[in-house]
Structure 1
Amino acid sequence: MANSPTGDTMAERIVRVLDTFGADRTIQTAAQIGRRSGLPSSTAHRIVDELVRAGLLERDEEHRVRLGMRLWELALRGSSALRLRQAALPWMTMVQARVREHTQLAVLELDEALFVERLSHPEAGANITRIAGRLPLHASSSGLVLLAYGPEELRRRVLGGPLVAVSAETITDGGELARVLDDIRRVGYVVAPGSIESVSTGIAVPIRDARGAVIAALSMVLPRDAPTAGPLDELRRASTGISAALSADRP
């Protein structure tokens, strides 16, 4: 039930407070949270105080606020992402050790690719993704795989645009994107040179659950001109192994 002048419920206001935190903004003052959340200052301060008392936020000696460990703990309890990461990590480690490039695991979340795990090598090239980071579905190899196998309604919504360019080579034409998605479903993988950064090529394959539904994408970021056949073989082998592990662990 809404109980504020703006019509927000308490849960919605809490989400607005938590959404002000990000990978590049891990600590803030309550005043900054109020401005960034768009909430009245008194409301933001009260919610922050309540979340600190509950352990979902933590306050340091300078009265700045960061996300609390209890929030992390609650997020992992029974999480499908945790089960997926546990099944994927051994295979991701094997792939990353053999190819020595960034290896990533992403799921579909709110019309974006949400990265739930990433392994890197000191000698690997450029890569802007990070754990708990997001990328547009049409502008990343993981996102393209998730979009290709996603619900038809999602596909229509994304194809309807606007398709924002992340780089000069990001697909921004709906017709071209539709053809790419059809190709992904036909061959079972994607090679996306320059879609995020001109110096890199993203490659990705789907991960399926015990019922055969695609629930995640396993990807790798390679130097732009690097061969893709060998790394793709590694990703496909890992995808099969992860899917088998998920099936074996099915409740």
Structure 2
Amino acid sequence: MPYAVRNDGTVRSTVRNAAGADRPSMLGRAMRLLAGFRAGEPEVSLAELARRSGVAKPTAHRLLGELETWSMVERTPGGYRLGLRAFELGQVVPRQRDLQESAMPILTDLHEATRETVHLAVPDGADVIYLQKLSVAGGPRLPSRLGGRMPAHCTGVGKVLLAFGPPQLLDAALERGLVRCTPRSVTAPGLLAERLAEIRARGHAEEYEESAPGVACVAAPVLGPDGIAVAALSITGWSTRFAPARVVPAVRTAALGLSRVLGWGGAPRDAVR
């Protein structure tokens, strides 16, 4: 379903009516309410869910009641939380589950070798979704979270997915508009195209304070059997002391190892673009 991410992180999904104007569907409103839940929150009030989703409070109350009957949400003393059925559905998504299971030993080794935060992310339209995050004590505060999403063009993992993924990912990012996460974020399509060409040439991405102040990272693509990026790995740390030359070989080796686990045969990059 089409959606847009506002600057405050809330999600707007839309459908087209017969006249061509955007209007939210009932399913879209329910999905917007579910997308309003965030990691680390024991519960969210009705008023806050309505604000985050943009759904009118009476409609939000009714839809949450229906979602409760399906165990997608649970009512709490102060509002709502995600229900057991939402957890169960997440466990049966095969591609992400298999990818996580295959990646975990590699991510653990990368985390222990570099002593930096590592990520595993996959594309979802103009965004990336983080499937795994192994943090390190004393690292910078990061906007990423397990199960969370970020605009692809503002992150290292997103840049390699745009560079090595199918063309429709870049089309989706440009169609939505290149939002600014920090003053350093790339918001000009022409400049983004230049950066992606550089990433394809060197085989990895470097990102300095484009996703959050004080944060830098390097990322490499995880390739599927056809040589197209299906995921990305990254190493993230403080921008003031981050040394790409030290960690680039590690993240590229890790991404290559996971690519081979997933069945990539090592076709030349030019042959799959």
1:108 Cα deviation (Å)?
0.7
1:171 Cα deviation (Å)?
1.7
- Residue 72, structure 1, aligned to residue 87, structure 2: yes
Q: How do 1:54-203 residues align onto structure 2 when only pairs under 5 Å count?
A: 54-60=70-76, 62=77, 64-159=79-174, 162-203=177-218
Q: How many residues align?
A: 244
User: Root-mean-square deviation (CA), in Å?
Assistant: 2.7
Following the alignment from structure 1 to structure 2, what is the Cα–Cα distance between the partners of residues 91 and 16? 34
Pick the aligned partner of 2:43 from 2, 9, 27. Answer: 27
Structure 1, unmatched stretches of 5+, are: 1-5
Tell me the TM-score normalised to structure 2 length: 0.79
1:86 Cα deviation (Å)?
0.7
Pick the aligned partner of 1:240 from 256, 259, 263. Answer: 256
Tell me the TM-score normalised to structure 1 length: 0.85
Pick the aligned partner of 2:68 from 43, 46, 52. Answer: 52
Following the alignment from structure 1 to structure 2, what is the Cα–Cα distance between the partners of residues 9 and 176? 36
Q: Which amino acid aligns with 1:123?
A: G
Deviations 1:74-130 (A, max 9, x none): 122043111111111110110010111110011111311111110011133342211
Following the alignment from structure 1 to structure 2, what is the Cα–Cα distance between the partners of residues 34 and 174? 33
* Aligned position for 1:14: 30
**Paired residues of 2:223 and 2:259 also in contact (CA < 8 A):** yes
Change (3 A) 1:241 1:21: same
Change (3 A) 1:33 1:171: closer
1:39 Cα deviation (Å)?
4.1
Following the alignment from structure 1 to structure 2, what is the Cα–Cα distance between the partners of residues 205 and 216? 9
Q: Which moved more, 1:147-156 or 1:100-109?
A: 147-156
Pick the aligned partner of 1:209 from 221, 224, 246. Answer: 224
Q: Which amino acid aligns with 2:156?
A: S
Q: Secondary structure in 2 aligned to 1:148?
A: helix
**Paired residues of 1:101 and 1:125 also in contact (CA < 8 A):** no
Q: Which moved more, 1:92-101 or 1:156-165?
A: 156-165
1:58 Cα deviation (Å)?
1.2
Following the alignment from structure 1 to structure 2, what is the Cα–Cα distance between the partners of residues 56 and 153? 31
Following the alignment from structure 2 to structure 1, what is the Cα–Cα distance between the partners of residues 172 and 33? 28
Q: Secondary structure in 1 aligned to 2:253?
A: helix
Q: Secondary structure in 2 aligned to 1:243?
A: helix
Structure 2, unmatched stretches of 5+, are: 1-21, 265-273
**Paired residues of 1:160 and 1:174 also in contact (CA < 8 A):** no
* Aligned position for 1:3: none
Following the alignment from structure 2 to structure 1, what is the Cα–Cα distance between the partners of residues 143 and 46? 29
Instruction: Give me the identity figure in percent.
Output: 30
Change (3 A) 1:242 1:16: same
Change (3 A) 1:247 1:29: same
Q: Which amino acid aligns with 2:109?
A: M
